[in-house]
Chains A and B, each alone.
Chain A
């Protein structure tokens, strides 16, 4: 078990795209937009995005847009901020942000900010720091951060900080690596990382590495490939990534590959899925694994895509 089975993973991603009638793919159809983002970003990191019919994807994405400006997880589904970010990220991958009515999307997101600075996920009002990150990330990609109250958004995130240095989904919520990624990412995007006690949070994050080299998302949990992304990107953003053993983590991710049929699973020998394939490859990219494009830890997009957005190259 030495290397990344890049070719197999490309085949796997392309095959999932075509598979539409088994139970697993069918019950995931409400979040197909997220699935598309995971799959397409993986292909891009592997340098194989040109295997995809751009026009077909872009027109499907645009068909998922709701009149409110938000995007649904699939055609005919209600809009939610979770799918809106994926849609914007997919368009960014293809350099197609110009097809968007930017004001319309911006208004949708800005309309979801609450009085206390937090964000709701959609019109029904559930609040979560995940939605704060998504809003800030989306608006930053669209270069419209000035359309919301960023200071209040930051204050809300800071109010979700726990005594262990981590963050939860709402004030007083348990620290969780996924939530921490969202909060650290949001603070990074707004230039507010000084609100974080980096040693304290870095300590909590590096305690996520277990004996096998893999990372878990909370104390006493089993390691899982997706946390290679959530924990690792957070450690990079706060400049503490040298506190974990990178070689062992690389090995752990490689051990979770299906070298025969492609794809990566949460743990060795489990069933693979697109989600863990993406996070595995993205994790390896953060670990500077050879042959992979670099990924930006805050935007969760390839670095060249981010550069194109902000520097026109």
Chain B
């Protein structure tokens, strides 16, 4: 009795899997997968203005329209179990064939079919990703590799943080990158994909990590273009530290390119100064518009650190030309003035009731303190401007007493640095 019941439910699961795989097979353009509670099915049919009979929620298992595929949460468990068993059987058979036998097309396509179904239900099932790598790398067809990018994108549509799905893309790109002439095109599309996913999935480390990884494959033009493009995005997502890190990655790349090459240096140099100055001004504008945003201030730490390190090197190099030296130190002095004005305008807490203003004040004072610790020249310039560590410390101890241990350690108990 029990056995009969089990085999019955097993064949039912196998039917489900078959149905699922049929839908995937017949709609290669499906670009989004999601899991839907049975109660939502009726709503989906209604919205689509379907004339066909709306299935009762008990029968509703899959919903597909406009390249979107919905799977009922009620069937996930049996469907997953069937997909896993089918996949494990197929990959087992595939591996038993080994290299010595001419690969069997049937087994191969079963591995691909079942691993796809499985990965659309369990995005980090590593063995299923690996099996696809195994099959595809034996074939070495460019189109097969590109299909992998599509599957990975489909998986990311329901699991945007899937480590394996992102890693699978890098595996593909590293393999095809050397072979095809479209690497720049791929890089551009990848960057767009990250942006699309980042829109829905906030502060997605894996996604932005992927975009950072792309930077080393970009041409200089692409780097500049990305810098321009991600600016708008950052303005709309000022709390997303990932995007600011991405920008810093792009800016460091420009800096590195400059230090690597000799000729034409001076015009590039001017351009870099311009890029940095614009970023600093833009960041200041955002800081004043969006009160108390940590990511903005951390980005400023980065910008100012690089800016001043550049000044410090310039000062060194210019040591014999005293005129140049004077002009550099004037620019440096006015930079420090500007940062102090910023501190001034941000550290006046209007009302203790506003958490954001409190945060802004703390962040601005911490920012100045952070710079004094990283750049000795900044420190000495500050002392000339009569801002001492003692002032900073009393500000910070008042605004952010919960970190008093940190302030004590950094500035000494009496405020001496």
Chain A residues within 8 Å of B121, by CB: 27
Chain B residues within 8 Å of A273, by CB: none
Q: Is B373 an interface residue (CB 8 A)?
A: yes
Chain B residues within 8 Å of A1, by CB: none
Q: Are A77 and B126 in contact (CB under 8 A)?
A: yes
Chain B residues within 8 Å of A22, by CB: 77
- Given A23-B77, A124-B130, A163-B302, decide whether A203 and B406 contact each other with a Cβ distance below 8 A: yes
Chain A residues within 8 Å of B293, by CB: 220
CB < 8 Å: which of B81, B122, B209, B215 contacts A169? B209
Q: Which residue on A lies nearest to B305, using beta carbons?
A: A163
Q: Which residue on B lies nearest to A125, using beta carbons?
A: B171
Q: Is B217 an interface residue (CB 8 A)?
A: no
Nearest-neighbour CB distance to chain B for A202, whole angstroms, equals 8
Chain A residues within 8 Å of B81, by CB: 26
- Among B156-190, those with CB < 8 Å from A are 167, 170-171, 174
Q: In the complex, A164→B303 CA distance in Å? A: 11
Q: Are A174 and B245 in contact (CB under 8 A)?
A: yes
CB < 8 Å: which of B88, B209, B370 contacts A168? B209
Q: Which residue on A lies nearest to B238, using beta carbons?
A: A220
CB < 8 Å: which of A76, A122, A220 contacts B203? A220
Q: Is A32 an interface residue (CB 8 A)?
A: no
Contact with B along A238-250 (1 / 0, CB 8 A): 0000111100100
CB < 8 Å: which of A126, A176, A203, A221 contacts B167? A126
Q: Is A251 an interface residue (CB 8 A)?
A: no
Nearest-neighbour CB distance to chain A for B33, whole angstroms, equals 15
Q: In the complex, A78→B215 CA distance in Å? A: 31
Count how many chain A residues have C-beta atoms less than 8 Å from C-beta atoms of the other chain.
42
Nearest-neighbour CB distance to chain A for B76, whole angstroms, equals 6
Q: Is A199 an interface residue (CB 8 A)?
A: yes
Q: Are B127 and A172 in contact (CB under 8 A)?
A: no
Chain B residues within 8 Å of A23, by CB: 76-77, 80
Q: Is A302 an interface residue (CB 8 A)?
A: no
- Given A26-B80, A173-B212, decide whether A206 and B122 contact each other with a Cβ distance below 8 A: no
Q: Are A30 and B127 in contact (CB under 8 A)?
A: yes
Q: Are B295 and A220 in contact (CB under 8 A)?
A: yes
Q: In the complex, A209→B405 CA distance in Å? A: 13
Q: Are A174 and B205 in contact (CB under 8 A)?
A: yes
Q: In the complex, A124→B80 CA distance in Å? A: 25
Nearest-neighbour CB distance to chain B for A115, whole angstroms, equals 15
Q: Is B133 an interface residue (CB 8 A)?
A: yes
The number of chain B residues touching the other chain, given as a range, is 35 or more
- Among A16-50, those with CB < 8 Å from B are 21-23, 26-27, 30-31
Nearest-neighbour CB distance to chain A for B377, whole angstroms, equals 17
Q: Which residue on A lies nearest to B216, using beta carbons?
A: A172
CB < 8 Å: which of A30, A78, A124, A220 contacts B122? A30
Q: In the complex, A124→B403 CA distance in Å? A: 45
Q: Is B213 an interface residue (CB 8 A)?
A: yes
Q: Is A223 an interface residue (CB 8 A)?
A: no
Q: Is A111 an interface residue (CB 8 A)?
A: no
Q: Is B339 an interface residue (CB 8 A)?
A: no
- Given A172-B252, A203-B406, A243-B403, decide whether A221 and B203 contact each other with a Cβ distance below 8 A: yes
Contact with A along B203-224 (1 / 0, CB 8 A): 1010011001101100000000
Q: Is B294 an interface residue (CB 8 A)?
A: yes
Q: Is B115 an interface residue (CB 8 A)?
A: no
Q: Are B126 and A172 in contact (CB under 8 A)?
A: no
Chain A residues within 8 Å of B294, by CB: 207, 219-220
Nearest-neighbour CB distance to chain B for A219, whole angstroms, equals 4
- Among A146-168, those with CB < 8 Å from B are 163-164, 168
Q: Is B301 an interface residue (CB 8 A)?
A: yes
Q: Which residue on B lies nearest to A126, using beta carbons?
A: B167
Nearest-neighbour CB distance to chain A for B200, whole angstroms, equals 17
- Among B370-385, those with CB < 8 Å from A are 370, 373-374
Q: Are B77 and A163 in contact (CB under 8 A)?
A: no
Q: Are B127 and A78 in contact (CB under 8 A)?
A: yes
Q: In the complex, A63→B198 CA distance in Å? A: 40
- Among B301-351, those with CB < 8 Å from A are 301-302, 305-306
Chain A residues within 8 Å of B410, by CB: 199, 203
Q: Are B242 and A164 in contact (CB under 8 A)?
A: no
Contact with B along A110-142 (1 / 0, CB 8 A): 000000000000101110000000000000000
Q: Are A172 and B215 in contact (CB under 8 A)?
A: yes
Nearest-neighbour CB distance to chain A for B151, whole angstroms, equals 16
Q: Is B240 an interface residue (CB 8 A)?
A: yes
Q: Which residue on B lies nearest to A171, using beta carbons?
A: B216
Q: Is B231 an interface residue (CB 8 A)?
A: no
Chain A residues within 8 Å of B370, by CB: 203
Nearest-neighbour CB distance to chain A for B140, whole angstroms, equals 16
- Given A72-B127, A163-B306, A206-B406, decide whether A174 and B122 contact each other with a Cβ distance below 8 A: no
- Given A126-B167, A163-B305, decide whether A220 and B241 contact each other with a Cβ distance below 8 A: yes
Chain A residues within 8 Å of B248, by CB: 163
Q: Are B130 and A242 in contact (CB under 8 A)?
A: no
Q: Are A243 and B405 in contact (CB under 8 A)?
A: yes
Q: In the complex, A23→B72 CA distance in Å? A: 13
Which residues of A are at the interface with B, using a C-beta cutoff of 8 A? 21-23, 26-27, 30-31, 72-73, 76-78, 80, 122, 124-126, 163-164, 168-170, 172-176, 199-200, 203, 206-207, 209, 218-221, 242-245, 248
25 contacting pairs across A/B (C-beta < 8 A): A21-B77, A23-B76, A23-B80, A26-B77, A27-B122, A30-B122, A30-B124, A73-B126, A76-B92, A76-B127, A77-B127, A78-B130, A124-B130, A126-B171, A164-B298, A170-B212, A173-B212, A174-B209, A200-B373, A203-B406, A203-B410, A218-B205, A219-B298, A220-B239, A221-B203
Q: Assuming A163-B306, A170-B209, A174-B209, what are 19 further A-B pairs, CB within 8 angstroms? A: A23-B77, A26-B81, A30-B125, A76-B88, A78-B130, A122-B130, A125-B171, A125-B174, A126-B167, A126-B170, A126-B171, A169-B209, A174-B212, A174-B245, A206-B403, A219-B298, A220-B295, A243-B406, A244-B405
Q: Across the A-B interface, give the 7 residue pairs with the lowest CB-CB distance, nearest first.
A: A174-B245, A78-B127, A219-B241, A126-B167, A243-B406, A220-B239, A219-B294
